[in-house]
Amino acid sequence: MRPDVLNPLFADISSLPGVGPRVKKAFERLAGGRVIDLCWHLPSGVVDRRYRPKLEEAEPGRVATLKLKVMAHQRPASPRAPWKVLCTDGQQDMDLTFFRANGRWLEKQLPLGEWRLVSGRLEIFNGRFQMSHPEHMVPPDEAESLPQTEALYPLTAGLGQKVVQKAVGAALERAPALPEWQDQHLLKSRRWPSWHQALLEVHQPQKEADLAPSAAARQRLAYDELLANQLALSLIRLNQKRAAGRPLRGDGRLVEAALAALPFPLTPSQQSALAEIQADMASSDRMLRLLQGDVGSGKTVVALLAMLTAVEAGQQAALMAPTEILARQHFKTILPLAQAAGVEIELLTGRDKGRGRRAALERLGDGSAALVVGTHALFQNDVVFRDLGMAVIDEQHRFGVHQRLQLAQKGKGVDVLVMTATPIPRTLVLTAYGDMEVSRLTEKPAGRQPVDTRTLPLERLGEVVIALGRALERGSKIYWVCPLVEESEAMDLADAEARFAALNQHFPGRVALVHGRMKGPEKDAAMQAFAEGPADILVATTVIEVGVDVPAATVMVIEQAERFGLAQLHQLRGRIGRGSGRSTCLLLYQTPLGKTAHERLKILRESEDGFRIAEEDLRLRGAGELLGTAQSGLPKFRLADIEAQGDLLAMARDHANVIIERNPELAGAEGSALRILLYLYERDTAVRYLRSG
């Protein structure tokens, strides 16, 4: 249960004064629907109203606060002309201008002959000072009500600056003082304020420097959020380790048989990753390890050898993939090696029905099938193992922590190996996978060819199609990737269906189409037509990003490549260079090319190192976008800026480890404050793993 002290922050935004049904929708779009969402909606600018010159020494273009006497109101001659109020500071005259103004209201606000304090941006128009729509106009005796500085917030349609400022102010009034969860020595050495003080300070910037990630109040709040994240991951990891594991030691016979069937020896990093995994499996603690490997670095083979180690120890092993295409791809890779080792393997996807499915479930239930490859279908209640000892989860960023745990619950003390072909920068490994040990595959397996990557403007599309004809004559197979499925009026992006139609006219009967909206059997038929004939060109969306393996494919064309992230382009390029032929990747871009897009394509031309590409992608795009917004599975940080505050992340991880070693149950006053921290930053699922409450 969330601690009561936090309830005011998690109340609906409509409980704030001035937030009715109409603006509530806009606030939900802007920040979220709860009071705390407005507390986390940080200012992006600051207006300094302390500049108070006389007109004769005032600088145009600056925000100024002036004491002015109202001389005359000049009504507009036409609806398009402004209402003007002529004023003086006693020595020099100037105009206040208002477009589409309510004259009666203005005459009331600015009565003739009265003095007013007026604040806004000073401009020169026709050789004379003017101020359009001043933000503040108050009588001199109300000078206290005029802010010295003012926070400026990001806005959305339907919300003006004043409305947002007022709502944020009301939200901050609801923020309670909370017990301190941070170490006093840390606060002192960093000169960080308390949580409540930091929250108020970030919303009351006095100068531009107060908006920087390095400002003390911003650092304090960011560190709180990162500590909550790392503490939650540490608790999950502690829970994994508490659930007693089983030592799984094999005798090596099945692994040797599979290795003998491989066409190439293992690379050095495959050997060391396998040794790390097998050492984890042999321990009495449960394994929770991340296997990171670039596209085509041979992760599936390492995973299979680990699964065979579990089988040697008398257990079963399961491999779960996020899509049917990927599950079938893994099954195809593993099947001949499992057969060479004399081990029965099943494939289980959502599409498998009827008698075949029942037979597969029986073989898993009685243990005659030692291995299974599947999709989410493996979670279903009717999937029962005789004795599941190991679970391998591929492309972890498409599955949440809970799905990972769900599969592990199909057995007793199950060892978990997570694989990803999306190279993740070291800082992000901590945020998303801080609860795991990490192994990395750094070389490409023997036989993988380098890919020649080139960039071309879309205007040269005709030349590309002619070049494809020559490639087809040489027996090549070709991928052509588009960013959208069908034409959209809102976005001028390449359209897979239109491109398929155009290429099919040039190369009739030799083009197949695959995209995410197609049904499973249609997708499979298109993939099979491409892999085995008659299709030699596959037009696709990013559905082919992971797991599609056609060694004869040596050309990859990516249309409007500037629209894709670096990591995604690298993944797509990894679909070629898998056979013995030389491979080429053509990145077609729309001109003119922006600076970041140009840099992105340049890095891709220069490097095939997925880890370098991932670090560059983080630098260019930031953590939020890194693996594609919708499916990254990375934690979303409201306050922490991973690129600018990366040093705080490592610090938070060490801090979380110290807390767990010293107080694993989060007991006592310190523990109670830390539980509030977890609930405040919505990492409360981790609290469930505590034995006491």
Q: For position 629, what pLDDT does the model report?
A: 33
Cα–Cα distance, 1 to 666 (Å, whole number) = 15
Of the ranges 373-382, 467-476, 576-585, which is most confident? 467-476
Is the pLDDT at 67 greater than 80, yes or no?
Answer: yes
What is the band of 428 on the pLDDT scale with cuts at 50, 70, 90? low
**Strand 83-88's sheet: what is its strand order?**
123-125, 128-132, 93-98, 83-88, 63-74, 115-121, 136-138
Which residue would you say has higher pLDDT here, 629 or 179? 179
* pLDDT for the residue numbered 432: 64
- Is 587 buried (19+), middle (13-18) or exposed (0-12) by CB count in 10 A? buried
Continuous segment of H or E residues that includes residue 120: strand 115-121
Percentage, residues of the chain above pLDDT 70: 89
104 three-class SS? helix
pLDDT for res 626: 38
Cβ contacts of 144 within 8 Å, gap of 6 or more: none
The least confident of 112-121, 387-396, 660-669 is: 387-396
675 vs 494 pLDDT, higher one: 675
Please compute, for residue 247, the number of CA atoms within 13 A of its CA located in the half-sphere on the CB side.
Answer: 6
* Segment 564-577 mean pLDDT: 82
Of the candidates 193, 165, 166, 188, which has an alpha carbon nearest to the alpha carbon of residue 178? 193
Q: How far apart are CA 25 and CA 19, in angstroms?
A: 9
- Residue type at position 627: L
Determine whether 393 is exposed, middle or buried from the number of CB atoms within 10 Å of its CB (0-12, 13-18, 19+): buried
Please list, residue by residue across 358-374, b when 16 or more beta carbons sit within 10 angstroms of its beta carbon and e when fewer do.
eebbebbeeeebbbbbb
Cα gap 395→303, rounded to integer Å: 13
- Spatial distance between the Cα atoms of 550 and 578, rounded to a whole number of angstroms: 7
Identity of the residue numbered 585: C
96-112 in b/e form (b: 16+ CB < 10 A) is bbbeebeeeebeebbee
Please give the biggest Cα pair distance in the chain.
100
Average pLDDT over residues 120-146: 90
Mean pLDDT check: name the lowest of 103-112, 454-463, 548-557, 635-644.
Answer: 635-644
Domains of the chain, start order: 4-46+154-211 (no CATH), 50-146 (2.40.50.140), 264-441 (3.40.50.300), 451-607 (3.40.50.300)
Mean pLDDT within 427-436: 66
pLDDT of residue 622: 54
CA 345, CA 373: separation in Å to the nearest integer?
A: 8
pLDDT in tens, 88-120: 998 899 999 999 888 889 999 899 999 999 999
Give the Cα separation of 97 and 76 in Å (integer).
Answer: 10
Model confidence at 65: pLDDT above 70: yes
Q: Across the strands, what pairs with 64? A: 120
C-beta contacts of 467-475 below 8 A and 24+ residues apart:
468/503, 468/507, 468/537, 468/555, 468/557, 469/506, 469/507, 471/554, 471/555, 472/507, 472/510, 472/536, 472/537, 475/552
> What is the average per-residue pLDDT within 326-353?
89
Q: Could you tell me the pLDDT band of residue 22, with boundaries at 50, 70 and 90? A: confident
Number of Cβ within 10 Å of residue 649's Cβ equals 23
For the whole model, what pTM was predicted? 0.65
pLDDT of residue 494: 63
**Tens digits of residue pLDDT in 490-536:** 555 668 888 999 999 999 999 999 887 788 788 888 888 888 888 99
State residue 492's pLDDT score.
Answer: 56
259-273, 335-349, 367-381, 617-631: which has the minimum mean pLDDT? 617-631
d(CA 207, CA 201): 11
Return the closest-CA partner of residue 623 out of 459, 429, 348: 429
